[in-house]
């Protein structure tokens, strides 16, 4: 049987995925060398990210051609908002970030660039382009989560975070989204196929950049 559309897509970002696994944010989670400040910065930025990502998923849901795909993306949008609340109420408190600090936080440059690209693509592109642009967020976290779960971490807070994304149920969620992309890939023109592949690579790059942003506690130069 010919290789699936999605497996070829995954192969096209193998350089980015390897760079993510080697990134000091990721290796630092498992060997305990990740500075707590970098983790806290990342978590606060991620809460902001999740709100915009939920908007992107809701936009993809609104354009889905089938009831089952609409239901899937709409429920993931709701879950992303719930995850944001959970981050605010538990993890941020444990990391010593007050509600006031969290409310004042602004997206760092990489975060704003990533979410702006997501929203522009899901609003201006086709449904297939929307699925392609949101997929690296799911897929890369699921793969990284499995790898981190295998390696473990000496820090209980890092372990808890790892458990969320390394969970087997989470792998099933991702598999359904991948299956949806494989379904829609069947009817793509050459031009649309090129766009989907470009969006997938671009948000995969942003996934690496998001860890770099957290690690460096990226700020606006002005």
Ligand X SMILES: Cc1ncc(C[n+]2csc(CCO)c2C)c(N)n1
Cβ nearer to ligand X, comparing 22 with 82? 82
The yes or no reply on residue 210 touching ligand X (CB under 6 A) is: yes
Of positions 79, 147, 182, 192, contacts ligand X by CB under 6 A = 79
> Binding pattern to ligand X, positions 144-183, x when CB under 6 A?
----------------------------------------
Of positions 34, 137, 184, 196, contacts ligand X by CB under 6 A = 137
Catalytic residue among 137, 147, 168, 192: 137
Alpha-carbon distances of 143 from 164, 172, 179, 192, rounded to whole Å: 12, 12, 16, 26
The yes or no reply on residue 46 touching ligand X (CB under 6 A) is: yes
Q: Give yes or no: 79 in active site.
A: no
For 85, other C-beta atoms within 10 Å of its C-beta total 12
The yes or no reply on residue 41 touching ligand X (CB under 6 A) is: no
The yes or no reply on residue 53 touching ligand X (CB under 6 A) is: yes
> Smallest gap, in angstroms, from Cβ of residue 207 to ligand X?
6
The yes or no reply on residue 76 touching ligand X (CB under 6 A) is: yes
Q: Give yes or no: 86 in active site.
A: no
Burial (0-12, 13-18, 19+ Cβ within 10 Å), 22: exposed
73 contacts: CB under 8 Å, gap ≥ 6: 57, 58, 60, 61, 64
DSSP assignment of 118-167 equals: HHHHHHHS-HHHHHHHHHHHHHHHHHHHHHHHHH--S-HHHHHHHHHHH-
Burial (0-12, 13-18, 19+ Cβ within 10 Å), 105: middle
Catalytic residue among 52, 143, 180, 207: 207
Tokens for 12?
């096209």
Contact 115, 44 (CB under 8 A): no
Of positions 17, 41, 49, 208, contacts ligand X by CB under 6 A = 49
Catalytic residue positions, numbered: 137, 207
Which positions lie near ligand X, rule CB under 6 A? Answer: 46, 49-50, 53, 76, 79-80, 137-138, 141, 207, 210
């Amino acid at each position: 049987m010919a290789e699936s559309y999605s497996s070829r897509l995954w192969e096209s970002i193998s350089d980015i995925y390897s760079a993510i696994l080697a990134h000091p944010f990721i290796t630092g989670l498992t060997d305990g060398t990740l500075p707590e400040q970098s983790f806290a910065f990342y978590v606060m930025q991620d809460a902001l990210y999740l709100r915009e990502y939920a908007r992107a998923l809701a936009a993809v849901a609104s354009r889905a051609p089938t009831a089952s795909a609409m239901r899937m993306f709409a429920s993931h949008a709701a879950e992303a908002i719930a995850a944001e609340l959970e981050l605010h109420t538990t993890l941020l408190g444990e990391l010593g970030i007050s509600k006031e600090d969290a409310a004042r936080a602004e997206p760092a440059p990489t975060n704003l660039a990533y979410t702006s690209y997501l929203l522009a693509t899901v609003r201006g592109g086709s449904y297939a382009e929307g699925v392609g642009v949101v997929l690296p967020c799911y897929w890369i976290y699921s793969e990284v989560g499995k790898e981190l779960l295998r390696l473990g971490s000496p820090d209980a807070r890092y372990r808890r975070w790892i458990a969320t994304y390394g969970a087997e149920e989470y792998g099933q969620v991702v598999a359904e989204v991948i299956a949806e992309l494989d379904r829609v890939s069947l009817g793509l023109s050459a031009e649309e196929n090129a766009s989907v592949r470009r969006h997938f690579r671009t948000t995969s790059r942003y996934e690496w950049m998001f860890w770099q942003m957290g690690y460096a506690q990226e700020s606006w130069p002005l």
